């Protein structure tokens, strides 16, 4: 058995154990089926309603990925801006924290007024919810560059922008990627919340199934949302491996 | 001989006059006056925390003195100073070659010359075979050689080193000491080498200055009576022992 | 082999669960157990009678748990995290179809207060007109919404999720129609300067009991006295609230300051016709059977069980 198939089996074990245990517990009546449906029921629902669920998954994926890409670009740009001086940091960083703390449900009606019902609200919601870790991690990475290397650049007369792009930014990449890992999962959550409000995708499936008392469908949609989150996470890991493989301890054997 | 045989015009002369540097309430350098002759190999010795690293940073103009003046002659060519740190401090995402080429890129040197200049300096430190490797794939000694090569690539007229070989094992240290001295003889720049090792100071330099624990005053300023060309055999010689004795005496004094 | 294991576990469960009621009763004898009544919205006139009730008089120590958007009262009853809850009649049928044994005891609203609210300026005549243009914000999973779709189709109207009690979108857009309680949101909209017209959902023949006090079949079997006393207390509470809502409104307003005192009074008055009856909270077999048939036709439940299973008259 090679290394990666062993890894895959190890990762799948807890999931299999929980699934089997859950199935047994629900069938025996220890857990009530209308609260937590048996995994077999969830599976059947996925198969039976697959077209609706996968169309919804595609919509949510679009919203989450777009929101994530936007928060990556904007988050890095904002962090670069904040890193330019202490005064700017002190003046503006607290407002960045606002993105972290604002309860998205509270500003939902406003989102709908500004962006309308549909994909734009979903992307806006995913963006708002996922941007802060990008800003925080990027800024931290940029500011914690090795001081000796900064001295080295200064010695050779490098301008601030050269130091930023040739030194601080590459040095910050491991931390930026950490921020992106967190942001990916948040973007999925943000997209789903946006869909509760904006009415489409998996969020809408969950909301409607809930009012229909169809817990099996709720769980099926939630499961697919988790798969989406995992896929995004995996994609970022791949990028991380490619970018950092040569030189960062986190990606070396 | 005091200066490198390559000639006094290859190095710069420094004049520090009443230099003072404070850190909040703490006076790190208190009224220091020191003349450094062009192309000389000067060792600066002192106990830990006496301010010798701070002094080196002031000379490098990484920090401005809070009082007094620093004059470097000739002052005309830019970026004639190079600095080797206590750790190699290479950029981990660049290969050895790219790291060594960095100063040339930053100072805007003629692109067509980059490759040749880097190759030359890599062979001078013995890293030609490793030039495509990344710092994480190198041993400590090789990283320090790369750092040295990087410092030399701009052909600096002033080379500053801050306890660069401290983290290396003894044999590697000995080898690099010898190599550094050879490079000085070949190139003729002014070298200021900060260390807390009496052995190293005596082996490497033509002139040693011992600083006090507080305030960075000069306790001893001594020309070392040792041959120009030095190898590791010298370490076991009577001559070296005598010089070390003098330095030790100064280091051991209180206050 | 797997079925053997499940059998054994099942047997173990049943034996174990038999002990619980005994233990529960022993515990109940010792101390007055807190009874939790879970509401499915914030305190407002819709629950007036439940707040007005004098539970202590009937030997009950009741705690009202306010809810909000999406509070799963019917699941809370099934899971045992509330002894009683406020649900709507259609929720009860859907829940029972999923194996959740909830039973209705008291229907505060004899008639369904759900409706669709539109800007009066649009000069629409009937519910069908609403579905011909503009935007409609409803909870599309609810049976009445599915019935609307079946009867009129959603091809010409843009359906979006209901924003709960929030009126921002409605006030900002003339062509925006929104689901509401006929007694509540229209008054609030008028107060904000917009003249509205309301179409009750009952117009299309969908009229389930609403704001229904329900409990689990289990509790009914174990403690019928508690259920009976609850219903009596609540019936008296609603009578008292209908006759004099002011003091209870004051208490609820303190708990829910998002709506002003004047609105509380206005809504309490407006909802009277929907609540008033010869016997407050009473329910009939016929109404339940009608509802069950409607839901079965929509495909929301598999089959309509005998009406006796859905409700008790205590």
Please calculate the CA angle B242-B245-B250 and round it to the nearest 5 degrees: 140
The ranges of chain C with pLDDT < 50 are 24, 26-31
Distance linking the first and last C-alpha atoms of chain C: 46
Q: What is the DSSP string of chain C?
A: -HHHHHHHHHHHHHHHHHHHHHHHHHHHHHS-PEEEEE-SSSSSGGGHHHHH--TGGGT-EEEEE---TT--HHHHHHHTS-SEEEE-HHHHHHHHHTT--EEEEEEEESS--EEEEEEGGG---SHHHHTTSSEEEE-TTSHHHHHHHHHH-STTSEEEE--TT--HHHHH-TTEEEEEETTTHHHHHHHTT--EEEEEGGGGT----EEEEEEEHHHHHH-HHHHHHHHHHHHHHHHHHHH--HHHHHHHHHH-TTS-HHHHHHHHHHHHHHH--SSTT---HHHHHHHHHHHHHHTSSS----GGGTB---
Do chains B and C meet with 3 or more Cβ pairs nearer than 8 Å? no
Distant-in-sequence, close-in-space partners of A218: CB < 8 Å, separation ≥ 6: A206, A209, A210
CB pairs under 8 A between A and C: 80
Task: Supply the pTM of this predicted model.
Answer: 0.83
C20 shares contact with chain A (CB less than 8 Å): no
Q: Is residue C300 within 8 angstroms of chain A, CB to CB?
A: yes
What are the pLDDT digits (tens) for A170-226?
Answer: 999 999 999 999 999 999 999 999 999 888 999 999 999 988 888 899 999 999 999
Closest Cα to residue A61, out of A137, A16, A119? A119
Cα separation, A209 vs A213, in Å, equals 6
Portion 251-290 of C in contact with A at CB < 8 A = none
| CA distance to partner chain B, nearest, from residue A164 (Å) | 13
**CB proximity B81 to A under 8 Å:** yes
CA distance B58 to B44: 14
Q: How far is A157 from chain B (nearest CA, A)?
A: 7
Contacts of A167 in chain B (CB under 8 A): 91
**What distance in Å separates residue A69's CA from the closest CA in chain C?**
26
> If we measure between CA atoms, which residue out of C113, C106, C111 comes closest to residue C236?
C106
The ipTM (two decimal places) reads 0.90
Residues of chain C positioned with their CB less than 8 A from the CB of A29: 10, 13-14
pLDDT of residue C57: 94
Q: How many CB pairs under 8 A join A and B?
A: 52
Cβ atoms of residues C250 and C261 within 8 Å: yes
Say whether A208 and C169 touch across the interface (CB within 8 A): no
Do chains B and A meet with 3 or more Cβ pairs nearer than 8 Å?
yes
Q: For the residues A47-68, what does the mean pLDDT come to?
A: 96
Nearest chain A residue to B94 by CA distance is: A247
Interchain contact, A35 vs C161, CB within 8 Å = no
The pLDDT profile of chain B, 255 residues, written as one tens digit per residue, is 456 666 556 788 889 988 998 888 888 888 899 999 988 999 999 888 788 889 999 999 999 999 899 988 887 667 689 999 999 999 999 999 999 999 999 998 888 889 999 999 999 999 999 999 999 999 999 999 999 999 999 999 999 999 999 889 889 999 999 999 999 999 989 999 999 889 999 999 999 999 988 888 888 899 998 988 888 888 889 999 999 999 998 888 765
Give the minimum alpha-carbon distance from A27 to chain B in angstroms, rounded to a whole number: 55
C-beta atoms of A249 and B136 within 8 A: yes
A3 contacts chain B (CB < 8 A): no
Q: By the 8 A CB rule, do C117 and C198 touch?
A: yes
Average pLDDT value over all residues in chain A: 91
The answer to whether B23 contacts chain A (CB < 8 Å) is no
Q: Which residue of A has its CA nearest to B98?
A: A166
* Minimal CA separation from C141 to chain A, in Å: 4
* Number of Cβ within a 10 Å radius of residue C269: 13
Query: Which site among A22, A23, A34 would you substitute to test the C interface, given the most C Cβ atoms closer than 10 Å to its Cβ?
Result: A34
pLDDT reported for residue C28 = 47
Cβ-based contacts of B60 with chain A (< 8 Å): 155
A248 CB neighbours in chain B (<8 A) are 92-93
Is the CB of B8 inside 8 Å of chain A's CB atoms? no
B83 touches chain A (CB under 8 A): yes
User: Is the per-residue pLDDT at A45 higher than 80?
Assistant: yes
Chain A touching partners, 3 or more CB pairs below 8 A: B, C
Contact between A151 and B62 using a beta-carbon 8 Å cutoff: yes
Residue A114: closest C-alpha in chain C: C169
Using an 8 Å CB-CB cutoff, list chain B residues near A158.
106
pLDDT (0 to 100) of residue A109: 76
Contact B106 A153 (CB under 8 A): yes
Residue A240 has pLDDT above 90, yes or no: yes
pLDDT tens per residue across span A100-150: 888 887 887 788 888 988 899 999 999 999 999 999 999 999 999 999 999
pLDDT at C19: 52
Q: Which residues of A touch B78 (CB under 8 A)?
A: 157
Provide the pLDDT for residue C302. Answer: 87
Q: What angle do CA A117, A123, A127 make, to 5 degrees?
A: 135
Residues C176 and C178: their CA atoms lie apart, in Å, by 7
Coil vs helix vs strand at B99 = helix
Contact between C78 and A28 using a beta-carbon 8 Å cutoff: no
- Using the Cβ of A105 and the Cβ atoms of chain B, whether some distance falls under 8 Å is answered with no
- CA–CA distance, A177 with B109 (Å, rounded to integer): 34
């Amino acid at each position: 058995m090679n290394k990666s198939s062993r890894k895959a089996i190890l990762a799948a074990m807890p999931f299999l154990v929980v699934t089997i245990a859950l199935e047994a517990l629900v069938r025996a009546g220890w857990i009530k089926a209308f609260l937590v449906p048996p995994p077999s029921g969830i599976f059947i629902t996925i198969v039976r309603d697959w077209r609706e669920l996968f169309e919804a998954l595609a919509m949510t994926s679009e919203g989450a990925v777009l929101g994530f890409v936007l928060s990556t670009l904007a988050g890095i740009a904002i962090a670069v801006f904040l890193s330019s001086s202490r005064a700017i940091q002190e003046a503006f960083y607290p407002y960045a924290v606002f993105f972290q703390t604002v309860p998205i449900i509270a500003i939902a009606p406003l989102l709908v007024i500004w962006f309308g019902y549909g994909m734009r609200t979903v992307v806006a919601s995913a963006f708002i919810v996922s941007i802060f870790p990008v800003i925080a991690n990027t800024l931290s990475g940029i500011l914690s560059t090795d001081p000796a290397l900064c001295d080295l650049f200064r010695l050779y007369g490098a301008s601030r922008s050269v130091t930023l792009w040739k030194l601080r930014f590459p040095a910050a990449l491991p931390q930026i990627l950490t921020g992106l890992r967190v942001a990916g999962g948040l973007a999925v959550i943000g997209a789903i919340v946006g869909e509760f409000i904006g009415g489409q995708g998996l969020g809408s499936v969950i909301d409607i199934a809930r009012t229909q008392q169809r817990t099996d469908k709720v769980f099926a949609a939630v499961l697919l949302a988790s798969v989406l989150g995992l896929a995004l996470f995996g994609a970022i890991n791949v990028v991380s491996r490619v970018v950092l493989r040569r030189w960062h301890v986190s990606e070396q054997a | 001989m005091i200066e490198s045989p390559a000639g006094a015009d290859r190095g710069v002369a420094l004049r520090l006059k009443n230099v003072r540097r404070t850190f909040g309430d703490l006076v790190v350098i208190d009224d220091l006056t020191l003349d450094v002759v062009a192309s000389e190999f000067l060792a600066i010795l002192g106990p830990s925390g006496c301010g010798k690293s701070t002094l080196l940073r002031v000379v490098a103009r990484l920090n401005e003195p809070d009082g007094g003046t620093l004059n470097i002659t000739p002052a005309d060519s830019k970026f004639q100073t190079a600095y080797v740190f206590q750790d190699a401090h290479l950029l981990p995402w660049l290969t050895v070659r790219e790291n060594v080429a960095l100063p040339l890129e930053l100072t805007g040197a003629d692109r067509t010359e980059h490759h040749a200049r880097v190759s030359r300096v890599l062979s001078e430190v013995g890293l030609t075979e490793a030039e495509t490797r990344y710092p994480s794939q190198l041993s400590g000694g090789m990283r320090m050689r790369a750092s040295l090569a990087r410092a030399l690539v701009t052909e600096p007229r002033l080379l500053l080193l801050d306890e660069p070989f401290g983290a290396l094992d003894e044999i590697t240290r000995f080898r690099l000491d010898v190599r550094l001295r050879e490079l000085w003889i070949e190139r003729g720049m002014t070298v200021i080498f900060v260390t807390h090792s009496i052995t190293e100071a005596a082996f490497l330099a033509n002139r040693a200055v011992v600083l006090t624990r507080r305030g960075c005053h000069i306790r001893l300023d001594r020309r070392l009576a040792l041959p120009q060309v030095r190898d590791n055999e010298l370490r076991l010689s009577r001559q070296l022992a005598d010089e070390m004795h003098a330095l030790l005496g100064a280091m051991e004094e209180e206050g | 082999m797997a079925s053997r294991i499940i059998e054994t576990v099942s047997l173990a469960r049943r034996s174990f669960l038999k002990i619980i009621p005994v233990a529960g009763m022993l515990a109940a004898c010792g101390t007055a157990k807190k009874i939790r009544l879970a509401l499915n919205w914030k305190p407002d006139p819709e629950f007036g009678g439940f707040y007005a009730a004098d539970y202590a008089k009937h030997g009950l120590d009741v705690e009202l748990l306010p809810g909000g958007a999406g509070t799963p009262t019917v699941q809370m009853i099934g899971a045992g995290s509330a002894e009683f809850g406020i649900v709507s009649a259609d929720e009860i049928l859907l829940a029972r179809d999923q194996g959740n044994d909830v039973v209705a005891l008291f229907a505060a609203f004899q008639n369904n207060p759900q409706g669709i609210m539109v800007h009066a300026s649009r000069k629409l005549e009937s519910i069908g007109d609403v579905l011909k243009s503009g935007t409609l914000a409803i909870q599309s999973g609810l049976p009445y919404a599915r019935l609307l779709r079946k009867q009129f189709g959603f091809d010409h109207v843009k359906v979006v999720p209901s924003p709960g009690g929030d009126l921002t979108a409605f006030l900002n857009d003339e062509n925006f129609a929104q689901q509401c309680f006929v007694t509540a949101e229209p008054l609030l909209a008028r107060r904000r300067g917009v003249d509205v017209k309301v179409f009750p959902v009952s117009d299309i023949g969908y009229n389930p009991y609403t704001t229904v006090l329900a409990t689990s079949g289990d509790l009914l079997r174990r403690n019928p006295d508690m259920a009976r006393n609850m219903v009596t207390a609540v019936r008296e509470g609603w009578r008292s609230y209908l006759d004099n809502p002011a003091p209870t409104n004051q208490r609820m307003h303190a708990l829910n300051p998002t709506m002003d005192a004047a609105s509380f009074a206005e809504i309490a008055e407006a909802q009277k016709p929907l609540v008033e009856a010869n016997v407050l909270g009473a329910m009939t077999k016929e109404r339940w059977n009608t509802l069950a048939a409607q839901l079965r036709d929509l495909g929301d439940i598999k089959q309509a069980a005998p009406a006796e299973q859905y409700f008790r008259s205590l």
